[in-house]
Every structure is written in structure tokens, then in C-alpha cells.
């Protein structure tokens, strides 16, 4: 009777074991890469177009206007906050009143229609990030948002992955600053950042052992 | 008898493994679903019931903490006159808050030292008021408070951005600024006087030579 499998079948079977393993690893690897890729995370370093070409480089960088002048809810609430056009008009009622670029702002202020800006940072929705908890404890805008004072149009600066969050949640002393440095850009960290950081962490009453609990960020 | 059983076990585990992989994939798909939830996460998200996520406050509704039941604290007036006193005692901590808030909200126009020459004025905004005039030094605190809360002239109101207690902190800091720019020599602490005397001598010497 003829054999159903030839002489090479055993080798093939063994190879297929190896191949199957490799295939599984490949699929899992692809899923991991996809999960961390700009396709799902939002592109890093790519400027997002906006209905009004507002330049942070000019307003924050050149004019040195404090972040809070417009993004006040970062200090007062959970959401970072986009200013209403009343805020824009508190200067632009007098400055660049002729500017065509500002037409949507003036229209919004006059009619009460919202000026809807495009979101740059899309954090996963099972993460409950609170801006005021971070800035009031001494974590600077710059640490997560990068040199916004050098961005003509804003782009995402950090990956916003959970492992990135945990870098700081496990060792907040590496990033914490004094309160007067929270809304500044480009100030070099002190040489003894870790020592200063540990003192600041203690002074703020931050319990580092709790910072990597799931429920700190996920609810 | 042993062999068939053995085979059955192996067969079932072989049948199970694709199931396990499918389950793992499903679980991972579940993760993605948690990242995109059927909820209104951003303030402008459209809502079938309410128009958008961040709802307009209904007319005559009073949000928590916005009941204006204290004339002095909320309007800066006392018996129909501009308030001449603060609604709460001013501490060092409040002055520090005031400085932080002043530098964020007032300094762009009024300047860090309060001379009315902030960067926005340099850019073409009408000259902001200097706090270092006789009129402003003798102005009651209520006048400053009301400028922040209701706006004055071309200055828009900052009511939406600066909460009540921080408005008063800013007023207190403006008072400190005024004092800093108009302090009599005799009022200065001894060490500052000594410092000034030294600098004065140096300057005179430098000028003399």
C-alpha cells in the first residue's frame, strides 16, 4: 500500500511547527507595532491644520504671553481647554483688526457660533487625564507638549502611550519643577534635578507608590 | 486503552489553539474599543439631546460657586460705593498667587512692573493705564476689582478667566507693585538702605572718574 505521506513529510511537519511559531510572533509583533504606530496614536511632529492659522510661535514665543492667558482651564479644571473667541478679541479688538486670517474669529465673536479647532492630542478615552492636577503639582506644559513656543501650528510632541505616562508616574522626581517654572519654556533643568525633584515630590505630598495604580488614570 | 485517550486529548488541544488565538485577538480588539468609547469626550462633541457635550448654561441658571450673594466680594462695591477694603485678609501666599495671575493676565498690556507698557501695547494696542500715577495710587481697591470683573474702556472683562478670589489677589499684588515703585527711602529695610547707599557711592565714583 502506498504511503499517504512521502519521506520529506516529517521534516515538513517539524518545519511547520517552527513556521507556525514564527508566524504567531510576527502577527503579535505587527499588532504591537500597529498599536504604537502613528496610525492609531496620532502622528508625532506633524503640524495639525486649523481653521485659523494661530501661531504659538508668535504669541507664546515672541510675545511671551503666558499659556494661561488663553488655556486657563488647564489650571482650573481637568480639560486643557481651547479659549473662546472673547479671549482672542481681548487683544484683537484693537490689533490686526484688518487681518483676513482673523475673519473666522471676528465672525464667531459677533454671532456666537463656536469656532471649532482641530484636536491635536487624542488621548485614549479610557484614560482620565486631569490637567490641573498636573500643572498645580509642578509638571510643566513643556514636559508633555514640547516647545509649543516654537510651533507655528501645534503638533503632538510625545507618544502619549501608557509606557510614556508611566515613565513619570514611576519617577516623578525626574520631571517635577517649582511652580514658577510650570508655564515657562526652554529653562534648563537644574543639575541636581533628582535631589530637587525628590524634595518637590515630598513637598507636594505626592505618594509615588500610588501613582502606578490602574485606577489613578483608568476608571 | 491508553493510546486512544491520549490521542483525543491531543486532538482537542489542537482544536482549542485556534480558538485561543481568536479569543486573544478578540480581547485585543476589546482594548481598542475601550480607547474609542461611545461617550462625549471633547467639549464640542455633538450630542443628540443637548446639542454638544459642553452645554450652554441656561439663562438665569446659577452654577455651583457662582452665586453672587456678597456685594463686596463679587462686585467690589460697599453700600453703592467703590470698595476701599479687601473682602479677606491678604497674606504672603495670596500676594504670590496675585503675582502669578498678574503676570499671566495683566502683564501683556500693563507690563510686569505696571507702567502700562506691556508687549501688546508695543504691538499696537492703545497704551494701557499705568498703576503708578497719583490717581491710581489713591484709587479704591474696588476700582481695580471692577476693571477685572467687568472690563473698562478697551479692556475686556476677565471674569471668565480669573475667578473671584484670584481677582482680589491680583488687586493686592497691584497695591504691592504700587508700593514697590513709590517707596520712601526711610521706609526701606536697613539692609536695602545699606545696599542702596553702596550702589549710590559706586555710581557716584564711577561718574566722578
What pLDDT does residue B209 have?
A: 37
- B90 and B19 in one domain? no
Q: What is the C-alpha end-to-end distance of chain A, expressed in Å?
A: 66
What pLDDT does residue B14 have?
A: 59
In a domain, B140, yes or no: yes
What pLDDT does residue B55 have?
A: 81
**Which residues in chain A have Cβ-Cβ distances shorter than 8 Å to B41?**
125
- B112 and B28 in one domain? no
Q: Which residue has the higher pLDDT, A135 or B20?
A: A135
Q: Which residue has the higher pLDDT, A100 or B7?
A: A100
Tell which B residues from 58 to 117 touch A, by Cβ distance under 8 Å: 100, 103-105, 107-108
Q: Is the pLDDT of residue B165 over 80?
A: yes
- Kindly report the CATH number assigned to the domain that includes residue B114: 1.10.760.10
Q: Is residue A209 classed as helix, strand or coil in its secondary structure?
A: helix
Average pLDDT, integer, range B198-207 = 57
Percent of chain B with pLDDT over 70: 83
Cell readout for A175 is 520631571
Of B21, B32, B105, the CB nearest to A69: B105
What pLDDT does residue B27 have?
A: 62
Average pLDDT, integer, range B108-113 = 95
Distance CA B164, CA B97 (A): 13
In a domain, B51, yes or no: no
Q: Is residue A156 classed as helix, strand or coil in its secondary structure?
A: strand
Mutate to test the interface with B, among A90, A124, A179, A214 (most CBs of B within 10 A): A90
Q: Is the pLDDT of residue B61 over 80?
A: yes
Phi, psi (deg, nearest 5) at residue A81: 90, 135
Chain center to CA of B67 = 20
| A65/B119 Cβ within 8 A | yes
Distance CA B156, CA A109 (A): 13
Interface check for B130 against chain A (CB to CB < 8 A): the answer is: no
Per-residue pLDDT of chain A (219 residues; tens, 9 = 90+): 677 888 888 888 889 999 999 999 999 999 988 877 777 777 888 899 999 999 999 999 999 999 999 999 999 988 888 899 999 999 999 998 889 999 999 999 999 888 889 889 888 888 999 999 999 999 999 999 999 999 999 999 998 888 899 999 999 999 999 998 999 999 898 899 999 999 999 999 999 999 999 999 998
| B124/A94 Cβ within 8 A | yes
Q: How many domains does chain B have?
A: 2
In a domain, B144, yes or no: yes
Asked if this assembly's ipTM is beyond 0.85, the reply is no
Q: Is the pLDDT of residue B13 over 70?
A: no
In a domain, B57, yes or no: no
Of B39, B105, B161, the CB nearest to A125: B39
In a domain, B43, yes or no: no
Residue-wise pLDDT tens digits, B115-133: 999 999 988 899 999 999 9
Q: Which residue has the higher pLDDT, A148 or B28?
A: A148
Range of the domain at B26: 1-34
DSSP A120: S
- B96 and B20 in one domain? no
What pLDDT does residue B15 have?
A: 66
Three-state SS sequence of chain B: CHHHHHHHHHHHHHHHHHHHHHHHHHHHHHHHHHHCCCCCCCCCCEECCCEECCCCCCCCCCCCCCCCCCHHHHHCEECCEECCCCCCCCCHHHHHHHHHHHHHHCHHHHCCCCCCCCHHHHCCCCCCCCCCCHHHHCCCHHHHHHHHHHCECCECCCCCCCCHHHHHHHHHHHHHHHHHHCCCHHHCCHHHHHHHHHHHHHHHHHHHC
Identify the band that residue B206 occupies on the pLDDT scale cut at 50, 70 and 90. very low
Identify the band that residue B199 occupies on the pLDDT scale cut at 50, 70 and 90. confident
Of A152-161, B47-56, B146-155, B173-182, minimum mean pLDDT range: B47-56
Chain center to CA of B21 = 51
Q: Is the pLDDT of residue B205 over 50?
A: no
Domain-wise residue ranges, chain A: 10-41, 56-81+120-217, 83-116
Q: Is B128 exposed, middle or buried (0-12, 13-18, 19+ CB in 10 A)?
A: buried
Q: Is the pLDDT of residue B208 over 60?
A: no
| A79/B100 Cβ within 8 A | no
Average pLDDT, integer, range B27-38 = 66
Phi, psi (deg, nearest 5) at residue A89: -75, -15
In a domain, B49, yes or no: no
Distance CA A177, CA B18 (A): 51
Q: Is the pLDDT of residue B7 over 80?
A: no
- B106 and B181 in one domain? yes
In a domain, B54, yes or no: no
Percent of chain B with pLDDT over 90: 49
In a domain, B50, yes or no: no
Identify the band that residue B5 occupies on the pLDDT scale cut at 50, 70 and 90. very low
Tell which B residues from 147 to 166 touch A, by Cβ distance under 8 Å: 154-156, 158, 160-163
What pLDDT does residue A112 have?
A: 87
The angle at the Cα of A208, spanning A206 to A209, to the nearest 5 degrees, equals 130
The number of C-beta contacts closer than 8 angstroms across A and B is 67
What pLDDT does residue B170 have?
A: 97
CA distances, A8 to each of A13, A216, B124 (Å): 9, 57, 86
Amino acid at each position: 500500500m502506498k504511503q499517504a505521506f512521502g519521506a520529506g513529510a516529517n521534516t515538513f511537519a517539524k518545519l511547520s511547527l517552527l513556521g507556525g511559531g514564527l508566524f504567531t510572533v510576527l502577527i503579535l509583533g505587527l499588532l504591537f507595532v500597529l498599536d504604537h504606530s502613528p496610525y492609531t496614536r496620532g502622528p508625532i511632529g506633524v503640524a495639525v491644520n486649523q481653521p485659523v492659522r494661530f501661531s504659538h510661535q508668535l504669541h507664546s514665543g515672541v510675545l511671551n504671553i503666558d499659556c494661561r492667558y488663553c488655556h486657563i482651564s488647564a489650571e482650573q479644571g481637568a480639560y486643557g481647554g481651547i479659549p473662546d473667541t472673547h479671549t482672542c478679541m481681548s487683544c484683537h479688538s484693537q490689533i490686526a483688526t484688518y487681518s483676513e486670517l482673523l475673519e473666522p474669529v471676528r465672525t464667531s465673536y459677533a454671532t456666537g457660533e463656536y469656532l471649532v479647532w482641530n484636536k491635536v492630542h487624542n488621548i485614549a478615552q479610557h484614560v482620565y487625564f486631569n490637567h490641573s492636577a498636573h500643572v498645580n503639582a509642578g509638571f510643566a506644559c513643556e514636559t508633555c507638549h514640547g516647545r509649543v513656543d516654537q510651533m507655528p501650528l501645534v503638533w503632538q510632541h510625545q507618544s502619549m502611550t501608557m509606557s510614556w505616562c508611566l515613565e513619570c508616574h514611576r519617577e516623578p522626581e525626574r520631571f517635577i519643577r517649582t511652580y514658577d517654572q510650570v508655564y515657562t519654556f526652554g529653562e534648563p533643568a537644574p543639575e541636581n534635578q533628582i535631589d530637587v525633584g525628590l524634595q518637590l515630590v515630598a513637598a507636594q505630598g505626592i505618594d509615588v507608590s500610588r501613582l502606578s495604580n490602574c485606577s489613578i488614570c483608568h476608571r | 486503552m491508553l493510546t486512544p485517550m491520549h490521542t483525543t486529548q491531543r486532538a482537542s488541544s489542537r482544536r482549542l489553539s485556534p480558538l485561543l488565538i481568536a479569543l486573544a485577538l478578540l480581547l485585543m480588539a476589546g482594548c481598542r474599543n475601550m480607547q474609542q468609547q461611545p461617550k462625549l469626550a471633547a467639549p464640542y462633541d455633538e450630542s443628540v439631546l443637548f446639542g454638544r457635550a459642553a452645554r450652554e448654561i441656561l439663562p438665569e441658571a446659577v452654577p455651583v460657586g457662582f452665586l453672587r450673594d456678597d456685594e463686596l466680594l463679587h462686585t467690589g462695591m460697599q453700600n453703592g460705593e467703590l470698595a476701599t477694603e479687601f473682602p479677606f485678609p491678604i497674606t504672603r501666599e495670596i500676594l504670590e498667587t496675585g503675582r502669578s495671575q498678574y503676570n499671566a493676565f495683566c502683564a501683556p498690556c500693563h507690563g510686569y512692573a505696571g507702567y502700562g507698557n506691556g508687549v501688546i501695547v508695543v504691538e499696537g494696542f492703545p497704551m494701557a493705564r499705568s498703576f503708578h500715577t497719583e490717581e491710581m495710587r489713591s484709587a479704591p481697591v474696588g476700582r481695580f476689582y471692577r476693571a477685572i470683573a467687568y472690563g473698562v474702556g478697551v479692556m475686556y472683562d476677565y471674569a471668565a478667566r480669573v475667578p473671584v478670589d484670584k481677582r482680589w489677589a491680583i488687586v493686592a499684588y497691584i497695591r504691592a507693585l504700587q508700593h514697590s515703585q513709590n517707596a520712601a527711602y526711610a521706609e526701606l529695610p536697613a539692609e536695602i538702605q545699606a545696599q542702596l547707599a553702596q550702589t549710590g557711592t559706586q555710581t557716584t565714583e564711577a561718574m566722578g572718574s
